[in-house]
A and B are shown apart, each in its own frame.
Chain A
């Protein structure tokens, strides 16, 4: 069954299936029923990351270097986690700028520079061709293993003619495939539906194939993972194989490889192609950002078991890279090896297809088109339609790239193991990362800085990885590696500047990125950007700014006719008609001046086909005046940021206004309340004044009219008149006090006095009265002497008022009042508490407001039965007096009697100091 004919039939049958799927995908797309507009297909197409290098090489790497192969997949996992920040921005930029490749991306960022684009394309071509060669080598090798087993399948490429080598024919078939499905549209920024469908299918095939062989090895060759790993534990030579010791470079090598994989995942041309260029909807990133890492976990799950099984079982002296084939072959199976071969074929072809499309786009748009435009512009312009030309260039580029890959594979491939070439390519692609990533976030990065940084990084990569590779292949003297060029030891490519003990990739990555980033940043700080560069830099760094989209940026003048002829020359009549008719403002006559938005559309369309650098050259050739309105775009950018700033401030202001409005409303509410209370107060005062006045008048009239009243009655009536007059004048006095306090005209005569004596005196004054009311008065004085500065009459008024109030509000049945005087820090505190209902927390400050208090007093009038009501002005007056004397008066919970407690605090005047001084010290 393993005859050449069968294997070849299956292999080319599989390729034919790919053609069918791709054709189907393209047909569905034409019918408007796309099969690939789903995040799952997008994630599967990203899995083109897993090449033949993953399929065969991971097992080899696991067998040789332990878990380090996982780093190649952990890096992309980290990158995909960052997709909502980084890749989303790349996708946004690419769709607005119609980016066709990573070279176009970098060129567009740095002022649509054609030289920088060409540089990137060139580096990609040199760095990636070996990687394509690697895939072809994997196909040849796996075919040889399959057919020759149990003989060792050492490559015999040198002895074979190329037409015997199957990978040559596979490459040719792939070239046809790519030409058919990769160059259908001229616009390279449009999605290649059929190709993506085929790639997604290939990702499924390789996953299924790898999982099948994994399950077979673990559950058929062994009795499950436990059995396998207990056997591993029993073989001493394998014990160290899975630890960090097996990883080249140890911990440093670990980090280096992780960083390398992270960067390469973003910058490899094929990854950029599927991640960014082929993305149709940036929302797909959300699903892909976890689905793709999950795919990576799945395809790596059985790598270690297969590697361990290959090392454990006696399958002959085969290369670990081929364990996935030799293990089932050694078990005498026929079907599974064939499936594995197809899996490997799918991994290799998927990579070759996407990579070749990406490279050919770069080569045609960044290398060949600018040259043609420059040297043969007149000649080209005289042609009728150039659209065919462009596609022709791209198709030739495809064939050439594949041939180059094959040539590399045939000439140098023998000496490299699979893994080596892969990581060398990774390191080359990683050189694009600084220009791309820094350019996306730092507006100041300049074209000169990026170009020099790239060149430096690339040269160091050549010196530390590519040339040593040649030396190992025998193309260069091996002394170059061990002794350094011309015997200069510190120039040894694997130990540059004496940095030894690192694995070669981390070593190369460190030096190349150091030079790359250092020069990019350093030179950028000292060079100027052209206006176009400034604009592009602003557009790239602010790509997520919503105000930037769909802004016409063109100002130059041209006619519609000129634009039409330019477009039809390069894009063909159909595309031109579509671009011009999408305009929406009716048919434009050829002589009409072209509106700015039309010029922008024309440039975008040309960018999609030719790359941004060439498109700019072409547009400038027909547009007179400064084509791109740089000033206005920069001002748009600035206005957008200004508008955002204004919006933010406006929002702040309106919040503030709302808050102030709320405060005003509250204040108004309060004022109304106060007004109402004032009216009540006036009514109350009038009432209070009228009551004694009425009785005085009544008794006075009786005395006047009743000439024959008995003497004792007359005396009694006169006493009533006198008492009521006293009450009246006391009331008036209080009102006057309050008025004085409020207008600040209250005159106090402060002097040093003893608060203890004053308190006792006040208690004596009210003692009789309280006793009459049945109030128990307790006096607690903790000090012998309490010198304070105050007006004795006024202070006594305050204390009497406090005692009086407490008596009124104490419990109805068993009224109790306690006066307590104690020192507190540099103050004396006199507190009067009662066992009444107390005062609620939110009422405590309001009792000191005269209006409020009246309300409260009248409300409690019924409760305080049998005890006279006050005017209700006592507490506000007391507080005014106390604060005039530098003290405080407030309400708190009664410490002993459970009712209210009013506390008066006055600064101590212990050393006869002035009141002001005392107060200062007390604070």
Chain B
């Protein structure tokens, strides 16, 4: 993978992470189910895990000198 391409992907991931951790999307998931607590923590953990997985994939597939 070329370095500029890799950088572009990384920047896209940062933008995505910022987006999913910020209010408009967070508010959407801040809804309690029929009975019980809000989905928000579950959403945060799932998204968090996905972001880290994507990040790990990007970083480990980078060229050595990139």
Interface residues of A (CB under 8 A from B): 66-67, 70, 74, 77-78, 80-82, 84-85, 229-230, 232-234, 238-244, 251, 254-255, 258, 283, 286-287, 289-291, 293-294, 297, 301, 304, 308
Contact = CB atoms under 8 A, between A and B. Distances in A.
B37 A238 contact: yes
B37 A241 contact: yes
Given A67-B41, A77-B51, A232-B37, A239 B22 contact: no
A251 B7 CA distance: 31
A297 to B, nearest CB: 6
Chain B, interface SS category: helix
Among B14, B37, B48, the most chain A Cβ lie within 10 Å of the Cβ of B37
Contact of A243 (B18, B22, B37, B62): B37
B27 A81 contact: no
Interface string B6-23: 010010011001100111
5 contacts: A233-B36, A242-B40, A243-B37, A286-B62, A297-B52
Given A81-B14, A232-B37, A287 B59 contact: yes
Chain A, interface SS category: helix
A170 to B, nearest CB: 34
A216 to B, nearest CB: 20
B17 A242 contact: no
Contacts of A84: 7, 10, 59
A67 B37 CA distance: 11
Given A70-B41, A77-B17, A286-B60, 14 more contacts: A70-B44, A232-B37, A233-B36, A239-B32, A240-B32, A240-B37, A244-B30, A251-B26, A258-B22, A289-B59, A290-B55, A293-B48, A294-B52, A297-B52
A244 B32 contact: no
Contacts of B51: 77, 81, 293
Nearest to A236: B35
Contact of B26 (A254, A283, A294): A254
A244 B40 contact: yes
A77 B52 CA distance: 8
A254 B44 CA distance: 13
A244 B64 CA distance: 42
Contacts of A230: 36
B42 to A, nearest CB: 9
A290 B17 CA distance: 13
Contacts of B21: 74, 78, 258
B13 A255 contact: no
A255 B55 contact: no
Nearest to B22: A255
A242 B37 contact: yes
B17 A78 contact: yes
A81 B55 contact: yes
Contacts of A251: 23, 26-27
B4 to A, nearest CB: 13
Contacts of B60: 286-287
Among A66, A238, A241, the most chain B Cβ lie within 10 Å of the Cβ of A66
B1 interface: no
A291 B55 CA distance: 10
Contact of B37 (A74, A229, A255, A287): A229
A290 B10 CA distance: 12
A106 to B, nearest CB: 25
Nearest to B11: A85
Nearest to B33: A233
Contact of A78 (B14, B26, B44): B14
A723 B17 CA distance: 90
Given A84-B10, A233-B36, A67 B44 contact: yes
B62 A242 contact: no
Nearest to B20: A74
B48 to A, nearest CB: 6
B36 A74 contact: no
B56 A243 contact: no
A81 B13 contact: yes
Report the 6 A-B pairs with minimum CB-CB distance, sorted nearest first.
Answer: A233-B36, A243-B38, A290-B56, A242-B37, A251-B23, A244-B30
B39 to A, nearest CB: 9
A89 to B, nearest CB: 13
Contacts of B38: 66-67, 240, 242-244
Nearest to B38: A243
A232 B41 CA distance: 14
Nearest to A82: B14
A74 B41 CA distance: 12
Contact of A242 (B27, B41, B59): B41
A233 B37 contact: yes
Contacts of B30: 243-244
Contacts of B37: 229, 232-233, 238-243, 308
B47 to A, nearest CB: 10
Nearest to A233: B36
A70 B44 CA distance: 8
Contacts of A238: 37
A287 B64 CA distance: 12
A290 B36 contact: no
Contacts of A70: 41, 44, 48
A238 to B, nearest CB: 7
Contacts of A304: 41
Contacts of A66: 38, 40
A82 B10 CA distance: 8
A110 to B, nearest CB: 28
Contacts of B41: 67, 70, 242, 304
A74 B48 contact: yes
Contacts of A287: 59-60
Contacts of A255: 22-23
A232 B36 contact: yes
Nearest to B48: A297
A304 B33 CA distance: 17
B40 A67 contact: yes
A42 to B, nearest CB: 13
A293 B52 contact: yes
Nearest to A285: B59
A244 B33 CA distance: 14
A81 B17 contact: yes
B59 A297 contact: no
Nearest to B34: A233
Nearest to B35: A233
A70 B30 CA distance: 14
Nearest to A303: B41
B38 to A, nearest CB: 4
Contacts of A290: 52, 55-56, 59
A74 B25 CA distance: 15
A766 B10 CA distance: 74
Contacts of B59: 84, 286-287, 289-290
A254 B23 contact: yes
B10 A81 contact: yes
A77 B40 contact: no
Contacts of A283: 64
Contacts of A240: 32, 37-38
A287 B40 CA distance: 29
Among A243, A291, A301, the most chain B Cβ lie within 10 Å of the Cβ of A243
A308 B38 CA distance: 13
A255 B56 CA distance: 25
A319 B41 CA distance: 22
Nearest to B57: A290
Among A74, A232, A289, the most chain B Cβ lie within 10 Å of the Cβ of A74
Contacts of A80: 55
Contact of A289 (B7, B23, B55): B55
A229 to B, nearest CB: 7
Contact of A239 (B26, B36, B48, B64): B36
Contacts of A297: 45, 48-49, 52
Nearest to B24: A251
Among B27, B38, B49, B51, the most chain A Cβ lie within 10 Å of the Cβ of B38
B3 to A, nearest CB: 10
Contacts of A77: 17, 48, 51-52
B7 to A, nearest CB: 8
